[in-house]
């Protein structure tokens, strides 16, 4: 209940963070309240005015807590505009809202901009990513996904038509697949999108099937918390002994 009331006290506050419990408890209780109001109004023969007024009242805090929840995962609140994309947009947002908090500066907090080579943390070093094929090592923010680091430093993750047409980091097309060659323990665990696409997307499934001994990941879904080495554009091992077994 405290989480629910806290959202109301931050009625139109779009800066800062919101935890998963704060976000989901708020929406769960609102669903219960709306259902109860609808039931009472239907029994009373009311035209639904109370339900409409409550829905309007809850609109702003819903947008605000949604923004803070996305910022808590390291994303901009403007991603809520995905809701206007039928089905897919809503599913992507639900996945993001369900993710754990990212250990990195959020929108609304002070942080340096520009390349990571110009930024140093005062306490210790920053994570580095070594792109083996490109023979380049770059710095990353704590909790930043590998795709963002690669794009900022001019490392090409995509091949063929995917250089132009891809899902832009939503974890849907699987064309940014990579192999984590070293530092697996410094990467975030596989999320729901990677687990689902393993079975439904052949672009990722074939890479996993033909390279069972390798840690094949999606760059857009893999966040780093330490030094890692990655191989971009891993080939499908059609002739591997384990592929047909």
Q: In the predicted model, what is the mean pLDDT of residues 21-33?
A: 92
- Domain match, 91 and 185 both: no
| Residues 83 and 89 sit within 8 Å (Cβ to Cβ) | yes
Please tell me the pTM assigned to this model.
Answer: 0.51
- Domain match, 145 and 91 both: no
54 — pLDDT class (breaks 50, 70, 90): very high
- Domain match, 14 and 88 both: yes
pLDDT tens digits for 157-202?
A: 998 888 888 888 888 899 999 999 999 999 999 888 888 888 888 8
- Joined tokens for residue 77: 């609140």
- Domain match, 81 and 131 both: no
DSSP-assigned letters across all residues of 14-66: -SS---HHHHHHHHHHHHHHHHHHHHHHHHHT--SHHHHHHHHHHHHHHHHHH
- Domain match, 133 and 93 both: no
* Number of structural domains found in the chain: 2
Phi, psi of 4 (to 5 degrees): -65, -45
CATH number at residue 227: 3.10.20.30
- Domain match, 135 and 60 both: no
| Residues 209 and 238 sit within 8 Å (Cβ to Cβ) | no
- Domain match, 148 and 224 both: yes
Rounded CA gap, 192 and 100, in Å?
12
The answer to the question of residue 71 being in a domain is yes
- Domain match, 221 and 139 both: yes
- Domain match, 40 and 131 both: no
The answer to the question of residue 44 being in a domain is yes
DSSP, collapsed to helix, strand or coil, labels residue 103 as coil
Q: Which residue has the tokens 């994570």?
A: 127
pLDDT tens digits for 122-166?
A: 334 789 999 999 999 999 988 889 999 998 899 999 988 888 888
The answer to the question of residue 102 being in a domain is no
Instruction: Mention every residue, 6+ apart, whose C-beta is less than 8 A from residue 235.
Output: none
- Domain match, 127 and 201 both: yes
pLDDT tens digits for 74-133?
A: 899 999 999 999 889 999 999 999 988 775 543 443 443 333 333 333 334 789 999 999
The answer to the question of residue 240 being in a domain is no
- Joined tokens for residue 191: 């999320």
End-to-end CA distance of the chain: 54
The answer to the question of residue 213 being in a domain is yes
The answer to the question of residue 176 being in a domain is yes
Domain boundary among the residues 81, 97, 113 is at 97
- Domain match, 172 and 82 both: no
Domain residue limits at 32 = 2-97
Domain boundary among the residues 82, 97, 112 is at 97
- Domain match, 41 and 142 both: no
Name the residue among 170, 133, 138 with its Cα closest to residue 151. Answer: 138
The answer to the question of residue 110 being in a domain is no
The answer to the question of residue 245 being in a domain is no
């Amino acid at each position: 209940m405290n989480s629910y009331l806290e959202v109301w006290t931050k009625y139109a506050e779009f800066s800062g963070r919101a935890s998963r419990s704060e976000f989901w408890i708020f929406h769960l209780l609102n669903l219960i309240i709306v259902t109860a109001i609808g039931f009472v109004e239907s029994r009373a023969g009311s035209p639904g005015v109370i339900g409409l007024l409550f829905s309007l009242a809850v609109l702003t805090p819903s947008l605000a807590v949604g923004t803070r929840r996305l910022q808590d995962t390291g994303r901009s609140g403007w991603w809520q505009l995905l809701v206007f994309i039928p089905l897919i947009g809503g599913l992507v947002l639900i996945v993001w809202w369900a993710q754990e908090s990212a250990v990195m500066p959020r929108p609304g907090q002070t942080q340096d901009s520009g390349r990571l080579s110009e930024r140093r943390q005062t306490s210790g070093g920053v994570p580095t990513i070594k792109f083996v094929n490109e023979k380049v090592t770059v710095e990353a923010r704590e909790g930043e996904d590998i795709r963002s680091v690669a794009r900022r430093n001019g490392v090409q993750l995509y091949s063929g038509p995917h250089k132009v047409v891809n899902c832009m980091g939503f974890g849907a097309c699987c064309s940014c697949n990579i192999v984590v060659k070293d530092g697996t323990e410094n990467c975030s665990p596989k999320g729901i999108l990677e687990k689902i696409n393993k079975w439904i997307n052949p672009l990722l499934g074939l890479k996993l099937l033909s390279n069972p001994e390798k840690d094949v990941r999606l760059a857009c879904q893999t966040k780093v918390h330490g030094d890692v080495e990655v191989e971009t554009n891993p080939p499908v091992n059609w002739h591997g002994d384990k592929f047909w077994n």
